[in-house]
Amino acid sequence: MNLQSLNTPAALIDVARMNRNITRMQERLNALGVAFRPHVKTSKCKPVVQAQIAAGARGITVSTLKEAEQFFAAGVRDIVYAVGIAPGKLSQALALRRAGCDLKLLADSLAGVEEIVAFGRAHGEAFEIWIEIDVDGHRSGIAPEDPALLPVARALVDGGMRLGGVIAHAGSSYEYDTPDALMRIAEQERAGTVRAAERLRAAGIACDVVSIGSTPTALAAEHLEGVTEVRAGVYVFFDLVMHNVGVNATNEIALSVLTTVIGHQPDKGWAIVDAGWMAMSRDRGTQRQKRDFGYGLVCAEDGNELGDYRMVTANQEHGVIARDDSPDADIAKKFPIGTRLRILPNHACATGAQYPEYVALGPDGEISTWPRFSGW
Amino acid sequence: MNLQSLNTPAALIDVARMNRNITRMQERLNALGVAFRPHVKTSKCKPVVQAQIAAGARGITVSTLKEAEQFFAAGVRDIVYAVGIAPGKLSQALALRRAGCDLKLLADSLAGVEEIVAFGRAHGEAFEIWIEIDVDGHRSGIAPEDPALLPVARALVDGGMRLGGVIAHAGSSYEYDTPDALMRIAEQERAGTVRAAERLRAAGIACDVVSIGSTPTALAAEHLEGVTEVRAGVYVFFDLVMHNVGVNATNEIALSVLTTVIGHQPDKGWAIVDAGWMAMSRDRGTQRQKRDFGYGLVCAEDGNELGDYRMVTANQEHGVIARDDSPDADIAKKFPIGTRLRILPNHACATGAQYPEYVALGPDGEISTWPRFSGW
């Protein structure tokens, strides 16, 4: 098996780029004096996570209990489930802890804590809970100055659970695209989360962990005083959304979709390829950013960039490739039927999820299949 | 296992609704006097396709050769692969035909025909080819009056392949939302494809099959003179995009995502659920339609509609539920943590693809697991 014999579409990982991305983030966080806990929802792939841990990561972040189960089975013990838990999933979490997994849960309300406490008491389990802090109004969490913070903390401690720390994710960082704005949102994430920890400590409640992070803020923070660990996920592959945010060059994107030209509409300057939205995902994350890449940026089969060709529209199994500025009347000559191209994705987490496996391209052209799981 | 014990998120099929959708389309096409060849890319699920065939479908349409392989293994012989074939996939198509599958391929250019002819001759195989007709400038195909039509047909016949017919898909029908506009685009699809067949016949080239279709045009056509078969896919489940187009009511949508409330931001009127874009897909197909449903329309666990609650935003494993008109200050009381909801999807083909299996809910509440395959 080699690159030229692969069926299309296929999800390719450029292993050299991936390893550089892993080293870049780990070295940065080492220099800032904090632990790094990568979010494995991006890859859901054992060899990728093994490379992150080999580089120095301590523990992982997961978005589903299935990720926790799969990576615990692969030998990772220290796991944060970074989504508020549905009460119906507490027995699944209990089974993981009983098997020896050091699984941490999140809560951000009295009602949520009460569910965990009731279940934990009924089953004699002192769950470790991290309180989710809302630093930017983006999604879940308790704001740093919210009066609800202390009652929530007391309810979980009094209920016999363990308060492990506070955790925040400045998801709004994806909306910025200048170094100054990224530094400001990174500092807002840091300061708000540290403030919540200080309020707990001032009230006599232990709060060991201060966990923050997103790929943009992890790469933009000037200092991380008071923070104990950082989380980030998409940095391992990067993508066009992150490129527009300003944290990676397009030639650092480690994930791409291999596709084949299957036809043309020469009058329109279109080449049609066998990768549509099923292969790219429906993610249009660059739509409102400084450059809209459509469904992806077109590169040659060897990964070299070709200029301004994008996948401008996509149906389920058809993608339309066209030049940005003006229709290419010679597109059928430039990309004849059978031409193989690589498309850089808008959002690596979404594109990877369309595949049961990645094809890993080693630095010397060697090819391996890296399974990827999905589901819940 | 029952509805109440299912893990969330889960992709539910309301079997009674699905069966009504299947009957509606089949009876309509029976009345119009044409054969029906459903597109199985929507479900990729054996029990669904078996129900379509039991209702009277003749053959199937596929968007990948994997679909052809899976359904041929399940006993379906008559299959159209409705995507121009990449030359690298011809050996996979050959293997299917050699195994006894009556697989038809598409072509819409001289270059494409030459690839099939060269491969067919080298392997002693007379592939059956249908010429793709472009009736609306939507994607691939040769326009009905294009001078290229006859040379393409002659090249394939002279090359020893079999010309089976002409095939068109008025994909632009998704962009309309009035009965008149749908009737017009349906007639445009019919007339253009019939015209292409007539040009071939007038030149002495046999053209047995005239195949057209999309869910909106199949449901809107006034008559189908000259057409031999119709194709449609999403009608089997319907969805919110099709609702906006005007071909189904929301209570006819047979696919939904079961989810659990995991938190709130009461000040904003938000409930947070454990179905994000991984569970719904990133498809925002209603964004530019008459009503934007966000990531989906919220129903109660039993499937009854709740009014104007939508999933307004989604992250990978978090969905945000809010009321359309004004924030619901009591949302934490209305949907407490642990509440289970069903979300109707924008686009059933994309949402189904996020799951390795559907959960089928029978008319009497009985539950079965229906596997769904993915990949290429």
Distance between CA atoms of residues B279 and A376, nearest Å: 9
For chain A, say whether B124 makes contact (Cβ under 8 Å): no
Mark which residues 179-238 of A lie under 8 Å from B by CB.
Answer: none
Mark which residues 24-53 of A lie under 8 Å from B by CB.
Answer: 41
For chain A, say whether B260 makes contact (Cβ under 8 Å): yes
On whether the CB atoms of residues A63 and B317 are closer than 8 A, the answer is yes
Across the interface, whether the CB atoms of A265 and B140 are under 8 A apart is answered yes
Q: Which residues pair with A297 in a beta bridge?
A: A310, A344
One-letter amino acid identity for B140?
A: S
Across the interface, whether the CB atoms of A337 and B283 are under 8 A apart is answered no
Measured in angstroms, the CA of B163 and the nearest CA of chain A are apart by 19
From chain A, the residues in CB contact with B347 under 8 A are 282
> How confident is the model at residue B58, as a pLDDT?
97
Say whether the peptide bond before residue B363 is cis (omega within 30 degrees of 0).
no
Rounded to a whole number, what is the distance in angstroms from the first to the last CA of chain A? 32
Mark which residues 153-172 of B lie under 8 Å from A by CB.
Answer: 171
Across the interface, whether the CB atoms of A349 and B83 are under 8 A apart is answered no
From chain B, the residues in CB contact with A7 under 8 A are 88-89, 92, 376
From chain A, the residues in CB contact with B260 under 8 A are 86-88
Per-residue pLDDT of A51-88, as tens digits, reads: 999 999 999 999 999 999 999 999 999 999 999 999 99
The beta-carbon neighbor of B337 closest among A111, A354, A356 is: A111
The 3-class secondary structure across B15-74, one letter per residue, is: HHHHHHHHHHHHHHHHHHCCEECCECCCCCCHHHHHHHHHCCCCCEEECCHHHHHHHHHC
On whether the CB atoms of residues B97 and B85 are closer than 8 A, the answer is no
| Most distant CA atoms of chain B, gap in Å | 72
Q: What is the DSSP pairing of strand A35-36 with strand A229-230?
A: parallel
The beta-carbon neighbor of B338 closest among A87, A278, A315 is: A87
Per-residue pLDDT of A111-132, as tens digits, reads: 999 999 999 999 999 999 999 9
Half-sphere exposure of B328 (CA within 13 A, CB side): 18
From chain B, the residues in CB contact with A64 under 8 A are 317
Angle at B276 between CA B292 and CA B18, to 5 degrees: 70
Per-residue pLDDT of A8-42, as tens digits, reads: 999 999 999 999 999 999 999 999 999 999 999 99
On whether the CB atoms of residues A49 and A76 are closer than 8 A, the answer is yes
Taken as a whole, chain A contains a residue count of 376
Across A194-203, A275-284, A321-330, least confident range: A321-330
Q: Per residue of chain B (376 residues), what is the pLDDT tens digit?
A: 899 999 999 999 999 999 999 999 999 999 999 999 999 999 999 999 999 999 999 999 999 999 999 999 999 999 999 999 999 999 999 999 999 999 999 999 999 999 999 999 999 999 999 999 999 999 999 999 999 999 999 999 999 999 999 999 999 999 999 999 999 999 999 999 999 999 999 999 999 999 999 999 999 999 999 999 999 999 999 999 999 999 999 999 999 999 999 999 999 999 999 999 999 999 999 999 999 999 999 999 999 999 899 999 999 999 999 998 889 999 999 999 999 999 999 999 999 999 999 999 998 889 999 999 999 9
Distance between CA atoms of residues A41 and B226, nearest Å: 52
Q: Which residues pair with B61 in a beta bridge?
A: B39, B80
Res A365 pLDDT > 90: no
> How confident is the model at residue B324, as a pLDDT?
84
Q: What is the DSSP pairing of strand B128-133 with strand B162-168?
A: parallel
> How confident is the model at residue A307, as a pLDDT?
85
Question: Closest residue of B to A264, CA-based?
Answer: B140
Quickly list H helices, chain A. Answer: 15-32, 46-54, 65-73, 90-98, 110-122, 149-158, 179-202, 215-220, 240-245, 277-280, 331-334, 348-352
* Residue B54 dihedral angles phi and psi, to the nearest 5°: -60, -30
Across the interface, whether the CB atoms of A272 and B140 are under 8 A apart is answered yes
For chain A, say whether B108 makes contact (Cβ under 8 Å): yes
Q: What is the DSSP pairing of strand A162-168 with strand A209-212?
A: parallel
For chain B, say whether A83 makes contact (Cβ under 8 Å): yes
Q: What is the DSSP pairing of strand B305-314 with strand B229-230?
A: unpaired
Q: Residue A319: which of B158, B242, B140, B152 has the closest Cα?
A: B140
Say whether the peptide bond before residue A216 is cis (omega within 30 degrees of 0).
no
Residue B119: exposed, middle, or buried by beta-carbon count in 10 A (0-12, 13-18, 19+)? Answer: middle
Indicate the pLDDT class of residue A214, thresholds 50, 70 and 90. very high
For chain B, say whether A115 makes contact (Cβ under 8 Å): yes
From chain A, the residues in CB contact with B41 under 8 A are 316-317
Per-residue pLDDT of A174-200, as tens digits, reads: 999 999 999 999 999 999 999 999 999
Res A325 pLDDT > 90: no
From chain B, the residues in CB contact with A282 under 8 A are 281-284, 347, 350
For chain B, say whether A2 makes contact (Cβ under 8 Å): no
> How confident is the model at residue B86, as a pLDDT?
98
Distance between CA atoms of residues B105 and B127, nearest Å: 7
One-letter amino acid identity for B77?
A: R
Tokens matching residue B259: 């989810």
Measured in angstroms, the CA of B157 and the nearest CA of chain A are apart by 20
> How confident is the model at residue A156, as a pLDDT?
97
Quickly list H helices, chain B. Answer: 15-32, 46-54, 65-73, 90-98, 110-123, 149-158, 179-202, 215-220, 240-245, 277-280, 331-334, 348-352
Measured in angstroms, the CA of B260 and the nearest CA of chain A are apart by 6
Report percent pLDDT > 70 for chain A: 100
For residue B204, count other CB atoms closer than 10 A to its CB. 7
From chain B, the residues in CB contact with A10 under 8 A are 376
- For residues A281-307, one letter each, b for 16 or more C-beta atoms within 10 angstroms of the residue's C-beta and e for the rest, the string is bbbbbbeebeebbbbbbbbebebeeee
- For residues A87-116, one letter each, b for 16 or more C-beta atoms within 10 angstroms of the residue's C-beta and e for the rest, the string is bbbbebbbebbeeebebbbbbbbebbbbbb
Across the interface, whether the CB atoms of B83 and A336 are under 8 A apart is answered no
Distance between CA atoms of residues B345 and A245, nearest Å: 29
For chain A, say whether B20 makes contact (Cβ under 8 Å): no
- For residues A337-354, one letter each, b for 16 or more C-beta atoms within 10 angstroms of the residue's C-beta and e for the rest, the string is bebbbbbbbbbbbbbbbb
Distance between CA atoms of residues B351 and B238, nearest Å: 12
CA dihedral A68, A72, A75, A78 (to 10 degrees): 70
Secondary structure (3-state) at B76? coil
Percent helix, percent strand, percent coil in chain B, to nearest 5: 35, 25, 40
For chain B, say whether A274 makes contact (Cβ under 8 Å): yes
Tokens matching residue A326: 């003006």
For chain B, say whether A339 makes contact (Cβ under 8 Å): no
Across the interface, whether the CB atoms of B318 and A140 are under 8 A apart is answered yes
Helix axis angle, B65-73 to B46-54, nearest 10°: 70
Across the interface, whether the CB atoms of B316 and A63 are under 8 A apart is answered yes
The beta-carbon neighbor of B7 closest among A317, A354, A376 is: A376
| ipTM value for the complex | 0.97
For chain B, say whether A66 makes contact (Cβ under 8 Å): no
* Residue A314 dihedral angles phi and psi, to the nearest 5°: -150, 135
Across the interface, whether the CB atoms of B336 and A86 are under 8 A apart is answered no
